[in-house]
Amino acid sequence: MSNETESRALALAAEYWQIVDAMRSGEYDGSEEHRELSAQRTVLHDELIALTGVTDRKAMYGHCRDLLRSGA
């Protein structure tokens, strides 16, 4: 990955991580905000697939965690 691609992947991973954590908190269950977060997560997930090649939806959260821990 180029530096620009790595930076983009890290930014997307951080945003993805935050959205999933917000959704898991239970604060937004059944609300319009939850649907909006879900839509944002889907867009981020698709962008992350294009950058990282990780296609397993359940694995993406862990992959984002690993990306953020490694810094690249």
- Residue-wise pLDDT for 57-71, tens only, equals 889 999 999 999 998
Domain chopping of the chain, boundaries: 3-70
| Longest Cα–Cα distance in the chain | 40
Q: Model-level pTM?
A: 0.85
pLDDT tens per residue, range 45-56: 999 999 988 888
Alpha-carbon gap, residue 45 to 49, rounded angstroms: 6
